Amino acid sequence: MAKLRSNHSSGKGSNSGGMITKVGIFSGLLAALYFVFNLFSGDTTSLMRDAEDEELYQPRKAFYLPTSNGQVIHQKYYTLSYSEEHEQAEWVAYKLTRDELNMEWVDRRDEFKADPKVRTGSAVLEDYYRSGYDRGHLVPAADRMFSDEAMLETFYLSNISPQSRNFNKGIWRELEELTRNWAKRFKELYIITGPVLSVPPKGTIGDNEVSVPQAYFKVLLDISEPEVKSIAFVIPNQVSYDPLFEFAVSIDEVETLTGIDFFAELLDEALEKELESSFNIDLWDFSKKKYELRVNKWNK
C-alpha cells in the first residue's frame, strides 16, 4: 500500500495547506463528511445515564467528543465510539497529563477481555488467535499505568484493533512514545485515535469478522498557553522505514479521510478553524534516536 503523505511547512505559525496524497486504495474514496457533534466527555446529565459514579466524569468544558457513527461508551478513563460493522472502536478519546505519566507505574497485566458495555457484543479474544495480527491498543496501556484499574481498562477488546506486527512494534510504538513525551512537555494533551474505517479493510479476522484497517490516525491537541497547537498523523498499517514526521497532517485532512468531525465545540470558531487547518512540525520535537531504534531494531 502506498504511503499517505502531507505537504507540510515547517516555519513557526506556518500552514500546511496540503492534502493527503490520494494513491492506491485511497484514490477516489475520500469524501468530506460532517455530522452533528457530541462532547468529549459531554453534558454530564446525559453521561450519568450510563455512569455508575458521577464523579468519574469531568465537566463539559474539559473534553470534546468527535462525531460518532456507532455506540458511544464512557469507560472510566477514556471514551470510545464502537463500530459494530467493524467490531472495534472507530475512535477513542481521552486526556493525557504530565501528572499521570509521572505517577509510579503499576505492573502490566495482559488481561484481554470482551467489553460488557457494547450492546451488540464486542470482539472476543478468539477472533485474534492465529490471525497473524497483533492485538493493537488504541488507548495504549502505557498511557494508563498510573493505576491497575486504568491499565486493565485498556484491555477491553473494544479498545483493540488488528495491527500488523511490525507496524505495532515499530512506527506506532514510536508515535505512542513520542506522544507521552509531548504530554510531559506540554502538561496535557487531548488525544483521539482510531482506525481508518472509511476505506475497504485489508480483510477480516475471526468468527466476528473483525476488520483489519488499512491505516490508523492519531489527533493531538494542546490548548495550553502560550502555544496552542495541534498535529495529526495518518499511518498505513504496515512496516515503515520513513521518518514519522512524513506522516504528519492537519486535522482537516483526517476529517476528510475519515468523515469524523473533531473538536466541534472547541473554544471559538476562528480558533477551531486555525487549529484544524494547519500544523507546524517545529512545535513538536521528533526523536532521531527513536527513529533509528525503529529502523534498526523495532522493525525487525
Which run of H or E residues covers position 291? helix 288-293
Active site residues: 137
pTM of the model: 0.80
Domain limits at 188? 24-298
Query: How many domains are contained in the chain?
Result: 1
**Residue 2 belongs to a domain:** no
User: Residue 277: pLDDT band by 50, 70, 90 thresholds?
Assistant: confident
pLDDT (0 to 100) of residue 7: 36
Q: Answer whether residue 95 is part of any domain.
A: yes
Mean pLDDT across 174-199: 96
Taking each helix axis from N to C terminus, what angle separates 269-277 and 251-258, rounded to the nearest 10 degrees? 80
**204: in domain:** yes
Give me Rg for the CA atoms of the chain: 18
Residue 54, pLDDT > 70, answer no
Q: Is residue 152 situated within a structural domain?
A: yes
Q: Is the peptide bond before 195 cis (omega within 30 degrees of 0)?
A: no
Of the candidates 229, 230, 265, 273, the one whose C-alpha atom is nearest the C-alpha of residue 249 is 230
The answer to whether residue 171 sits within a structural domain is yes
pLDDT per residue as tens digits for the range 248-276? 999 999 999 999 999 877 656 777 778 88
Q: What is the distance between the terminal CA atoms of the chain, rounded to a whole angstrom?
A: 19
Q: Characterise 166 by phi-psi region: left (phi > 0), alpha (psi -120 to 50), beta (else).
A: alpha
- Compute the distance between CA of residue 110 and CA of residue 129 in angstroms, rounded to an integer: 15
The CATH number that applies at residue 119 is 3.40.570.10
pLDDT score for 263: 83
Mean per-residue pLDDT, 83-100? 96
User: How far is 249 from 19, CA to CA, in rounded Å?
Assistant: 8
Q: Report how far residue 276's alpha carbon sits from residue 289's, in angstroms, rounded to the nearest whole number.
A: 29
**Is residue 9 a part of any domain in this protein?**
no
Q: Which residues contact 132 (CB under 8 A, 6 or more apart)?
A: 165
Does 10 reside within a domain? no
Q: At residue 210, what is the residue type?
A: V
> Among 149, 136, 154, 139, which Cα is nearest to 238's?
136
- Of the two residues 208 and 43, the one the predictor is more confident about is 208
Phi-psi region of 243 (alpha: psi -120 to 50; beta: other; left: phi over 0): beta
User: Which pLDDT value is given to residue 226?
Assistant: 74
Residue 247, pLDDT > 90, answer: yes
Lowest mean pLDDT among 19-23, 78-82, 85-89, 257-261: 19-23
Q: Flag whether 5 is in a domain.
A: no
